[in-house]
Amino acid sequence: MPFISLGLSSALSKALKDQNFTIPTPIQEAAIPAILNKKDVLGIAKTGSGKTASYVLPLLMNVQKSFGVKNRHADVLVLVPTRELAVQVKDVFQTFSQALPESIKTLAVYGGVSINPQMMALQGVNILVATPGRLLELVDMNAVHLSSIETLVLDEADKILNLGFKEEVDKIIALLPKKRQNILLSATLNKDIQHIHQILLHEPVVIEVEEKADSIELINQVAYIVSEEKKGPFLRHLIAHHEMRQVLVFASSVHQVDAIVNKLRKNNLDAKAVHSKKSQGARTEALHQFKSGKLRILVATDLMARGIDIDDLPFVINYELPRSPKDYVHRIGRTGRANTAGDAISLVSQNELHHFEVIQKKMGKQVKLIDSENL
């Protein structure tokens, strides 16, 4: 089914073709017509399923149609959990809005950077992408008004609620017009999502894209038993042995990420860190260098993983295991994308062996476990 048959304009359909998007994903096929018809939508689909475009494309068309009765304030509010995702969503809106005859202004606002430039840029914004905390700061300063919002999007709603933004989200919702379109997108449907969807959504179109059992089949998984004190040297051995030119390394804390990067640099390996304590400028620059292939090693916490989307990333390494089996699948899912095989390597200490067994059981897949002492 071509995109234009979903109700998108010829201009957007051409833009999609120019970006090498030819066939809608399941969530796009279901969500685009519903959003064009101003229906509330609950979309449950894993990361990488095309959720962002599923609402960006129809909302651009809806905003364009409302130009004749344009208010002075934003029409669309998209709430996201992290700065990286805010920038990523804003970029998607801007990429496709360039194809439209009317000029549509999208702005991303988030903490960690000066608020003044964001305040100045709010003039004439049609689509506002925001993290909850920074949005409320702007509201408190009378820099932004939410009285004209026609559509609210909660993107990665599971992460927004898991990160403790529920109170902020409640405050924001109280400031919005009662009559509006609501779109809630999430990778999972947990009790928090069920609760907020019951509050927010009116007769929603429910779209649940089942995760295919073979969704991680393109990922070659292997794990090594490594003592904690030897993980650093073994990580460097793996990078050299496999001649890794682009590798994403996950650790569980800001402190550990910084320690790994410092050790790699001391051994003349080009590495940078992305985590919540880094400035937005440093994070954006590191991600840009890594995605463009100019940076060899990126070391990140789980919080940053949502902003890292690379179609042909060859290697992911778990320096430490995440607490949640779902986070493990999300981490390794940074590779093996777009029908391209990838390698996911985990360094597992003796203390982590039981937890790794739980992860494998939840994942439904056994991972080859090798004792590094025997290499």
Cβ proximity of 108 and 86 under 8 Å: yes
Q: Which of 323, 314, 326 is nearest to 364 (CA)?
A: 326
Q: Using CB atoms within 10 A of its CB, is residue 314 exposed (0-12), middle (13-18) or buried (19+)? A: middle
Residues contacting 75, CB < 8 A, separation 6+: 62, 63, 66, 126, 127, 148, 149, 150, 151
Cβ proximity of 333 and 187 under 8 Å: no
Q: Using CB atoms within 10 A of its CB, is residue 69 exposed (0-12), middle (13-18) or buried (19+)? A: exposed
> Which domains, from first to last, does the chain contain?
3-208 (3.40.50.300), 219-374 (3.40.50.300)
Instruction: Tally Cβ neighbours within 10 Å of residue 191.
Output: 8
11-27 pLDDT, tens digit each: 999 899 888 788 898 99
Q: Which of 3, 49, 7 is nearest to 22 (CA)?
A: 3
Predicted local confidence at residue 45, as pLDDT: 85
Predicted local confidence at residue 155, as pLDDT: 94
Alpha helices for 271-322 (secondary structure H): 280-291
Predicted local confidence at residue 139, as pLDDT: 96
Q: Name the pairing type of β-strands 342-348 and 219-225.
A: parallel
Predicted local confidence at residue 308, as pLDDT: 67
Q: Name the pairing type of β-strands 271-274 and 205-208.
A: unpaired
Please give the DSSP secondary-structure letter assigned to residue 352: G
Angle between helices 132-140 and 166-175 (to 10 degrees): 50
Helix (H, G, I), strand (E, B) or coil at 232: helix
Predicted local confidence at residue 213, as pLDDT: 44
Predicted local confidence at residue 214, as pLDDT: 43
Predicted local confidence at residue 33, as pLDDT: 97
Residue ranges for the chain with pLDDT beneath 50: 213-214
Predicted local confidence at residue 57, as pLDDT: 96
Instruction: Tally Cβ neighbours within 10 Å of residue 10.
Output: 10
Cβ proximity of 163 and 301 under 8 Å: no
